[in-house]
Amino acid sequence: MKRSVIKVLLVILLIFLPVILHQTYRWMTALPDQITIAAGHPEGRYYSMAVQLKDLLEEQLGTKVKIIQTKGSLENLELLRSGKADLGFYQPGTEYVLKDFQGEPDKAKVSKQD
């Protein structure tokens, strides 16, 4: 009697284990309900790229996408680092400006553009 109960429990475990593992995998790799993109000014290139990405993500993945209007690369990077945006566009080197800039820029280091 005891052996038959153990066999039944073992069979049940073997049947349900793949289902449990599959559901756990799906839960751990699921996309968020909403993705937030830091995108710059509405008339800028980043914003138009964000709109195209939004359309693609909503169509292909069925995920809601929110676009945040920002002042540009620095703000996009700050939003990414703070976790307020999931995706964002920024120029390479922006992280150095964000890290090194404190207060007013050194006028000797800033070249004047005409």
Residue ranges covered by each domain of the chain: 31-99
What gap in Å lies between CA 16 and CA 20, rounded to an integer? Answer: 6
Give the bridge partners for 37, in sequence order.
67, 87
| Calculated CA dihedral for residues 43, 110, 100, 83, nearest 10 degrees | 0
What's the pLDDT tens digit per position in 40-78? Answer: 999 999 999 999 999 999 999 888 999 999 998 889 988
CATH fold for domain 31-99 = D-Maltodextrin-Binding Protein; domain 2 (3.40.190)
Mean pLDDT for 2-19 is 90
* Cα(75)–Cα(72) distance, integer angstroms: 6
Q: Are 77 and 83 in contact (CB under 8 A)?
A: no
